[in-house]
Chains A and B, each alone.
Chain A
Amino acid sequence: MLRITCPYCGTRDEQEFTFGGPSNIARPPAETDDRTWTAYLFNKANPAGVHIERWQHLYGCGRWFNVARDTRTHEILQTYVMGLPAPDPNDA
């Protein structure tokens, strides 16, 4: 069971949240080639390691925020509000 720290409400159980896919995806301009658009729509980094993802505190404040979580161990390294850049993995 994940324990997730909502930046607004504090640490809560996994069931209060809903997963919202990878975060930090830059949308390409509308006039782009098939390959770029296909990659944007469908391709995933899907790392075995630190994953930057979006979660919503659905059964709490209802707000979206970002989570940096290791997909191998489920350890959550950091949660941070929408709009902030992803944490640098080289930072201590």
Chain B
Amino acid sequence: MRRYSFLHLAWQALRGNRGWRPAWRNAEPTSGYEVVIIGGGGHGLATAYYLAKNQGIRNVAVLERGAIGLGNSGRNTQVVRSNYFYPQSVAFFDHSLKLYEGLGRELNFNVMLSQRGVLNLAHSEHDMELQRRWCNAIRMSGVDSEWLTRDAIRALVPPLNLDGRFPVLGGFIQRRGGICRHDAVVWGYARAASSLGVDIVQSCEVTGFKFANGKVRAVATSRGIIGADKVVMSVAGYSSELARLAGIELPITTMALQAMVTEPVRPVLNTMVISGLVHAYVSQSDRGEIVIGGGADAYPSYAQRGGLPQMRDVVRAVVELFPSFSRLKMLRQWAGRVDITPDTSPIMGVTPIDGLFINCGWGTGGFKAIPAGGHTMAHTIATGTPHPLIESFGLDRFRTGALIDEGAAAGVAH
């Protein structure tokens, strides 16, 4: 892998930028691999990278039916944070945040991590009580979380309207949280994995599985049969359809989660602000665009666009919180295909089929989990048993009843 550096940048510039080479190989699939990863998003690519880097397993292919990173990895609002509630969740997501903190260096790729702080707003006495409990729960897990007064919030977020329809009474912030360039994370992992020998195979749709003696043996694809000792399903909103091909049913509903950006303006907002009550989250990108997200649309959808009613509700909430944004022009709107689970926690680990692994159920919160998702799945695939950080998130928890209900901390007001 040709190292990126300031000197390299300057040298390329002097050559008229004609010397840049593709950052990863667009590989032709071979007849078989030790591990086949289905899904070329952040999680799939990160899994491939950590298999090669940490587990010494390089005979790996990532099969992507379209082009890498154009699913949810390319459609999120770039939030990274670890301020969940239950110890299992906080531990997992903070592992991911710590990996994000070193990611640019590890991948030799500028992922543009900006730890500008993630602020949750409390709008009522109930919010204040619940958020104090939430804030303390995070600190009991040894992760940073700081209670802020109304005045402190006013000073931190100048354009915020603290006296709108639902006044801001206080809140709490995770200062290590922030945003990170989503496309860069995908490309960084793809480049690093490819350089370590992983085949990234695009335009390759999995159409079926081949089993023998209760074990996975190969996948059937639009580009032929590809043998595999181990297969990982990492396809987010398509998980139900893919798992069905293996005879597995999942507790997942696929829904549209919208995001939108305004025209660029000068820096005005240097914090990621989340209101669980009015259900909107807002940040300002490095290009100056105001990036907005909210709750998922109300009914299942694979359409990746969302509808006007939900969009209107989110914009309404944002304009109430930030009145000065009301005149901005909306530039782009889109949606992902998010896989919602009953307890708003992911599904990671083994399946009832030997050699078949699953990583899905991230719902509205998968981007922040990419490094830890890949890292723990690589460990799980290599050893055959779930990594300790993901033991609580197995598919079997729905049978045992040991759900990890992160509905509130995921930022979703039910």
Residues of chain A having any CB pair with chain B under 8 Å: 1-2, 13-15, 18-19, 34-35, 38-39, 41-48, 51, 53, 69, 71-74
Interface pair B399/A35, CB less than 8 Å apart: yes
Query: Does B129 count as interface, using CB distance less than 8 angstroms?
Result: no
Interface-facing stretch out of B63-71, B104-112, B295-303? B295-303
Nearest CB on B from A79, distance (A) = 14
Residues of chain B having any CB pair with chain A under 8 Å: 238, 240-241, 249-254, 298-303, 307-309, 342, 398-399
Interface pair B249/A39, CB less than 8 Å apart: yes
Interface pair B253/A44, CB less than 8 Å apart: yes
Give the complex CA separation of A42 and B345 in angstroms: 13
Nearest CB on B from A62, distance (A) = 17
**15 contacts across the A-B interface (CB closer than 8 A):** A13-B309, A19-B298, A35-B399, A42-B251, A43-B250, A44-B249, A44-B250, A44-B251, A46-B240, A46-B241, A46-B252, A47-B240, A48-B254, A69-B299, A71-B300
Nearest CB on A from B126, distance (A) = 23
Give the residue name and chain of the B residue nearest to A44 (CB).
B253
Give the complex CA separation of A73 and B256 in angstroms: 12
Most buried by A among B240, B241, B299, B307: B299
Give the residue name and chain of the A residue nearest to B300 (CB).
A71
A71 touches which of B249, B250, B302, B307 (Cβ 8 Å): B302
Chain A residues with CB under 8 Å of B241's CB are 46-48
Interface pair A48/B238, CB less than 8 Å apart: yes
With contacts A35-B399, A47-B241 taken as known, whether A1 is within 8 angstroms of B309 at the C-beta atoms is yes
Interface pair B398/A42, CB less than 8 Å apart: yes
B303 touches which of A1, A14, A47, A73 (Cβ 8 Å): A73
In the complex, given contacts A41-B398, A43-B250, A43-B251, what are 6 additional A-B residue pairs having Cβ atoms less than 8 angstroms apart? Answer: A1-B308, A2-B299, A15-B309, A44-B252, A71-B302, A74-B301
A46 touches which of B253, B303, B307, B399 (Cβ 8 Å): B253
Interface pair A72/B249, CB less than 8 Å apart: no
Chain A residues with CB under 8 Å of B298's CB are 18-19
Chain A residues with CB under 8 Å of B399's CB are 34-35, 38
Interface pair A53/B299, CB less than 8 Å apart: yes
Most buried by B among A18, A34, A45, A53: A45
Nearest CB on B from A49, distance (A) = 9
Interface pair A71/B398, CB less than 8 Å apart: no
Most buried by B among A34, A38, A41, A72: A38
Nearest CB on B from A46, distance (A) = 4
Interface pair A46/B254, CB less than 8 Å apart: yes
Chain B residues with CB under 8 Å of A46's CB are 240-241, 250, 252-254, 300
With contacts A44-B251, A46-B250 taken as known, whether A19 is within 8 angstroms of B299 at the C-beta atoms is yes
